[in-house]
A and B are shown apart, each in its own frame.
Chain A
Amino acid sequence: GDSVTQMEGPVTLSEEAFLTINCTYTATGYPSLFWYVQYPGEGLQLLLKATKADDKGSNKGFEATYRKETTSFHLEKGSVQVSDSAVYFCALDNYGQNFVFGPGTRLSVLP
């Protein structure tokens, strides 16, 4: 079945550092790819998405590019802030089937 793999956390960075969180997927066909963010005690919020190969999703300084050849959707941000501390989930949607989520990567940004 479809699956999503993420780099293990926690990831700890200093403010203004560069962030990369790796995500790879296994799926038949051409799924849509997503990053969701979860702040403590809250539900998941959509951060960005990409629906086809080579698409780049972006939001709030975060970016991710849909790479079909490497089945990856790595999340990047050039300069993280303390307020970015959260858990980040990579997910896929394979045409109307249920969304499949990765295990999440916890990010802690230190001032």
Chain B
Amino acid sequence: DTGVSQDPRHKITKRGQNVTFRCDPISEHNRLYWYRQTLGQGPEFLTYFQNEAQLEKSRLLSDRFSAERPKGSFSTLEIQRTEQGDSAMYLCAGHGTLGNTIYFGEGSWLTVV
């Protein structure tokens, strides 16, 4: 158990709808990452937070995507006007102050139909 939990685990939505995913890391994870993983591929970086500050965003993160970490604890990733190409697993990972390892949650599967 990595201590990182994600919700929901699975989401099926119609094209054009908005979806939101939530990530709850443990309190020691001052840094939080979001990755996207499609079938047969490795995780692709989307964005990361240092506490509540969003420090880096990938060019994969189009303007339909927004991520927040309002109090430096949990984080949300919202996708507006979903497209079929958004179908993927969205992974959250936490990184603590000690060591340089990131710990992943179980992921949130998104299927856009």
Contact = CB atoms under 8 A, between A and B. Distances in A.
Do A and B come from the same complex? Answer: yes
A98 B33 contact: yes
A4 B41 CA distance: 13
A32 B102 CA distance: 12
A45 B104 contact: yes
B101 A34 contact: yes
Given A32-B100, A49-B101, A51-B100, A44 B41 contact: no
25 contacts: A4-B42, A34-B101, A43-B2, A43-B4, A44-B43, A44-B93, A44-B104, A45-B104, A46-B101, A51-B100, A89-B42, A93-B100, A98-B33, A98-B45, A98-B58, A99-B33, A99-B93, A100-B45, A101-B42, A103-B40, A103-B41, A103-B42, A104-B40, A104-B41, A104-B42
Interface in A64-111: 89, 91, 93, 97-104
A51 B99 CA distance: 10
Given A98-B33, A98-B56, A43 B107 contact: yes
Q: Determine the interface band of chain A, counting residues with CB < 8 A from chain B.
A: 20 to 34
A51 B43 CA distance: 21
- Identify the interface centre among B41, B43, B93, B106: most chain A CB within 10 Å of its CB: B43
Interface in B1-19: 2, 4, 6
Nearest to B31: A96
Contacts of B25: none
B36 to A, nearest CB: 11
Contacts of A46: 101, 103
A42 B100 CA distance: 22
Contacts of A100: 45
Interface in A20-46: 32, 34, 36, 42-46
